[in-house]
Every structure is written in C-alpha cells, then in structure tokens.
Amino acid sequence: MSENLPRTLVPRVPERNLGRFRENEGHEKLNSWEVFETPSHSLEVLKEAAEYLKTKDVPVAFPTETVYGLGADATRSAAVKGIYAAKGRPSDNPLIIHISDLEMLRSLLTPEKSTSNGTANGGHDPIPEIYKPLIDKFWPGPLTILLPNPTPSRLAPEVTAGLKTFGVRMPNSPLALSLIKLTGAPLAAPSANASTKPSPTTAGHVLEDLYGRIDLILDGGPCLVGVESTVVDGLCDPPVILRPGGVSIDELRCCAGWEKVEKGYKDHSETGKSTPRAPGMKYKHYSPKAKVILYEAAFEKGRDGIQIDDIEDLVRDREAQQIPVSKGGPLRVGIIRTRHWKPAAGLRCSNLKRWVREESQEADELYVQEGEFHDTTSGATVGKLLDVSIGEDTRSIAQGLFSALRELDKRDADIIFVEGIVDDEDIGAAVMNRLRKAASRIRS
Ligand code: TXA
Ligand code: MG
C-alpha cells in the first residue's frame, strides 16, 4: 500500500494478564495501576500506542468496558484538537478524562504550578468528600464525576470547552488502564463514533466510522456494558445525574450523600428554551441512517408485537411518512426485539433465514433473521424483514443495542421498529435514553 493512502491499523490486543492494581499497605482500596512488564504481543502494541499518544496529534481508539473511546493526551492542546477533527464533533461539547489511578486525579485537582501531590499537602485531599463513596464503590467502572478545574489547570482548555468543571472516570478495562499508565498522562476520550452515529462497541464499528481518519484502533473485543458511563454532578445539592449510563440510579442511591440524587437530564426533545446541563445532550445522537420508531414499554400492553397494520400503513404511505428507501424495491424493515415481541413481531413472513456473521464467533454476535412479509389480505409481498433479538435481560439489551442499530444500518434498513423496555429496572434508563434520542417517532 502506498505511504500516502490513509489507512488504519487494527491490532488485536488480548486483555488478559496486562496488569493489576497495586495495593500499598494502609492505603485506600484503589492504588496505582501496575502494568505487568512480562514481554507479550499486547504489551508491545500498547507501548507503541502510548508512544504515539505522547508524540502525535492524531487520536488512538481503544476499548473501555462501556464503549470504544477516541483518546488523546488530555494535557496537550494539539492532541485534543485532533479528537474534535477526527470525530467531526462540535468543540463546545466537553470530553471525559480517563485516569489510571487516584494520584493522577489528585494532580489534576491541584493547580499546575503547585508542587503538591494532594495528600502530601498538609494532609488535605483535593478529592471532594461527596465523591469518596462513589469512587469506592464504582471505580474502576462506568461512572463519570464532575470536578472543579483549578487555575491554572494541567488540562488543555479544549478538553473542558470553557466550563469550570471537568468530567473524569477510571475505566474498568485492563487495556485502557494499561494504555493510560504507559502514556503517563490522563487521556481525554469521547466515544469513538463519528458525531451523531451510535457509539461503537467493537473495533469494527470504529473502523466503519473513522477509517482513514485515524491511524490506530486497539481491538480488545466487544465492550461488556455497551452503553456509556453515567455522568453525575455532586458539586450541587442535591446531586444530579446528567446522563444515565452503566451505573443505575438505584445503585447511586445506596451511597452515603447520594440518597436524594435527582435526574438532571431530559429524554425528550431538548430543543426548548432551557440549556441542557450536559452540553452533549443538545446534539442529535445515536442515529442510524434508518428512521427509528420506538415503542415505549407501556405501548398497548399485552400485545405480542407491533401490528401488521402499522407496517402496512407505512408501506402504503411511505412518501407521506418521509421514509427514504435506500435501494428501491420493497421497503426494508428492521425490527429490534427485547422482552415480549415474538420473532418477526407477529408478521406473516416467509423465507425467514437466520443469518450468521461469517468472520467471528464473538460474544457480540447478533443473529439477524431475514425474510419477506406479506399483505394480510392479498398475500402480496410488501417488504423485506430484518429481525434481530437483543435478549430479555437489561444488561444484555444494553450490550447489544448499538450493535443492532449499526447492523441494521449496514443491511440498508429503511426503517427500524424497536421494542422499548421500562426505565426503572437496572440500567434500563440508559437504554431508553439512547433509544429516545435515536428515534424520530415514539409510540407511547
Ligand atoms: O463511557 C463513556 O463515558 C465513554 C467512554 C469512552 O469512556 N465516553 C463518552 O464520552 O461517552 P462522550 O464525549 O461521548 O460523552 C461525554 C458526555 C457528554 O454528554 C458531555 O457533554 C458530558 O459527558 N460532559 C463531559 N464533561 C462535562 C462537564 N464538565 N460538565 C457537564 N457535562 C460534561
Ligand atoms: Mg458520545
């Protein structure tokens, strides 16, 4: 391949035996992340990636337990600008910082010129008390906390997009922790999708969006959680959740000081007068090319699926409904099922075939059934069906959600019907938040 052609390398980096937390006696639960220096292919790849992050201004994609992130050294402006450029992200939307240990966090909380490392500073710990129970319980893990950004700050100004706070989390992924540790700097990382697309939960998803725009994607396999971290602000009283995510409101409420935590986000259109509190919430998000129609869990309770009338009406009326048809011919209808809808959502179908992904047998594998469906009276073929189930359990639904939206997009679905779930079970709020943002129509 010519040197001038943009290309993107995607090395496989098995996560096993990369490192561990070193627990010093008498110290807090989380101590420094230690990388095992045992020579291995993974370690070599990570060292090269870390070197790249230290010296180049093009971001590197890496897996976390939530979604893939697009990382850059959070202390270097040129590197952080590279993230906004690669993603096509508006620069007023701040980025989450990823750290490998609490000392790294303390150094970010102390003004740049100060020599203090926090705890040595007269015994004063710069981490606010309100966050200690959360850090203890959820880190490393899918929780982002907001903290005051000191002046002067060690962080590049582009990270915070002019806000007085920064968002930070310690990811629960040996690969991510090792990469941060080897880089020796906190990594700013938004989700590694092109702006407005569903977040990526495999290296393949990142490649689809960013091929040729970045040089390196570290492939650690599919993400376990599948939705992004919960973002909380504990600097106000009562504390608020700015974005629902991989930690549920009930789990937060079990922590001292967080019993009264409130929802500070809105799921429905934020185009009204009030400015959304998490700047990211005002943009179009999580959208596949297809038009998404979300059925709230309460919709016509007791039915096993969407009614054929819904689809037949749409097919007949597709111009009025403004459904773009990507390939001409019959309408391509995607269905994402969760708990109650039957296969093919009760439609009269023929030739239903289970399609199996050829190249891998990964845990993220989704089985899509393909077939045709017919008019109930005339029997005429009215559309092509692409049916996928992402499981009944909330965790499995969260894990498969973005993959399913992307898969149906790849198969040129014109429209996608999604079976919603209840908000208040485990991380159902995160699932429904993403779906409501992806949907152009909600049936409730
Ligand atoms: O799980 C995750 O959080 C993933 C992985 C890669 O760690 N990252 C992620 O980043 O989802 P991103 O940039 O796609 O979303 C960050 C969200 C946005 O809604 C942003 O507005 C909000 O966090 N945010 C970041 N810093 C903030 C701040 N200082 N104040 C309020 N909201 C903030
Ligand atoms: Mg994102």
Segment 323-369, tens digit of pLDDT: 666 656 778 899 999 998 888 776 777 777 766 555 544 545 788 88
Decide whether any atom of ligand 1 lies within 6 Å of the 69 Cβ: yes
Ligand number nearest CA of 95 is: 1
* Of 80-84, 287-291, 349-353, 407-411, minimum mean pLDDT range: 349-353
Instruction: Report the pLDDT averaged over residues 211-219.
Output: 96
Give every CB contact of residue 413 below 8 A, 6+ residues apart in sequence. Answer: 288, 290, 332, 333, 334, 386
Decide whether any atom of ligand 1 lies within 6 Å of the 279 Cβ: yes
Distance between CA atoms of 98 and 75, rounded to whole angstroms?
A: 12
Of 76, 119, 124, 125, the closest CA to residue 97 belongs to 76
Decide whether any atom of ligand 1 lies within 6 Å of the 63 Cβ: no
**Atom in ligand 1 nearest the alpha carbon of residue 245:** 1
Instruction: Report the pLDDT averaged over residues 82-111.
Output: 93
Instruction: Report the pLDDT averaged over residues 236-246.
Output: 97
User: What is the structure's pLDDT at 89?
Assistant: 82
Instruction: Report the pLDDT averaged over residues 239-257.
Output: 98
Q: Where are the beta strands (DSSP E) in 315-433?
A: 331-337, 349-355, 368-374, 381-389, 415-419
User: What is the structure's pLDDT at 186?
Assistant: 98
Instruction: Report the pLDDT averaged over residues 42-46.
Output: 96
User: What is the structure's pLDDT at 277?
Assistant: 44
Percentage, residues of the chain above pLDDT 70: 82
User: What is the structure's pLDDT at 274?
Assistant: 37
Decide whether any atom of ligand 1 lies within 6 Å of the 420 Cβ: no
Q: Which residue has the higher pLDDT, 383 or 107?
A: 107
To test ligand 1's pocket by mutation, which of 98, 153, 231 has the most ligand atoms within 8 angstroms of CB? 231
User: What is the structure's pLDDT at 298?
Assistant: 73
Q: In which band, very low, low, confident or very high, does the pLDDT at 273 lie, cut at 50, 70 and 90?
A: very low
Residue 393, Ramachandran bin (φ over 0: left; ψ between -120 and 50: alpha; else beta): beta
Instruction: Report the pLDDT averaged over residues 393-407.
Output: 96
Decide whether any atom of ligand 1 lies within 6 Å of the 228 Cβ: yes
**Atom in ligand 1 nearest the alpha carbon of residue 231:** 23
Q: In which band, very low, low, confident or very high, does the pLDDT at 244 lie, cut at 50, 70 and 90?
A: very high
Bridge partners (DSSP) listed for residue 146 = 167
Ligand 2 centroid to residue 177 C-alpha, Å: 20
User: What is the structure's pLDDT at 289?
Assistant: 84
Q: Which residue has the higher pLDDT, 123 or 226?
A: 226
Token pair in block for residue 41: 């292919």
Q: In which band, very low, low, confident or very high, does the pLDDT at 115 lie, cut at 50, 70 and 90?
A: low
Instruction: Report the pLDDT averaged over residues 180-187.
Output: 98
Minimal-distance CA residue to ligand 1 atom 3:
229
Ligand 1 centroid to residue 190 C-alpha, Å: 6
Of 99, 396, 427, 398, the closest CA to residue 241 belongs to 427
Highest mean pLDDT out of 93-102, 345-354, 406-415: 93-102
Minimal-distance CA residue to ligand 1 atom 17:
280
Q: Check whether 281 has a pLDDT greater than 60.
A: no
User: What is the structure's pLDDT at 321?
Assistant: 63
Instruction: Report the pLDDT averaged over residues 76-90.
Output: 93
**Atom in ligand 1 nearest the alpha carbon of residue 66:** 1
Ligand 1 centroid to residue 293 C-alpha, Å: 26
Decide whether any atom of ligand 1 lies within 6 Å of the 144 Cβ: yes
Distance of CA 376 to the CA centre of its chain: 40
Ligand 1 centroid to residue 96 C-alpha, Å: 5
Ligand number nearest CA of 69 is: 1
Please write the tens of the pLDDT for every residue from 54-82.
Answer: 999 999 999 999 999 999 999 999 999 99
Instruction: Report the pLDDT averaged over residues 305-329.
Output: 64
Instruction: Report the pLDDT averaged over residues 130-135.
Output: 97
Ligand 2 centroid to residue 3 C-alpha, Å: 31
Mean pLDDT for all residues in the chain: 86
Instruction: Report the pLDDT averaged over residues 33-57.
Output: 95
**Atom in ligand 1 nearest the alpha carbon of residue 243:** 19
Minimal-distance CA residue to ligand 1 atom 20:
280
Ligand 2 centroid to residue 191 C-alpha, Å: 4
Residue 374 buriedness (CB in 10 A; 0-12 / 13-18 / 19+): middle
Distance between CA atoms of 108 and 200, rounded to whole angstroms?
A: 28
User: What is the structure's pLDDT at 204?
Assistant: 95
Minimal-distance CA residue to ligand 1 atom 30:
278
Q: In which band, very low, low, confident or very high, does the pLDDT at 375 lie, cut at 50, 70 and 90?
A: confident
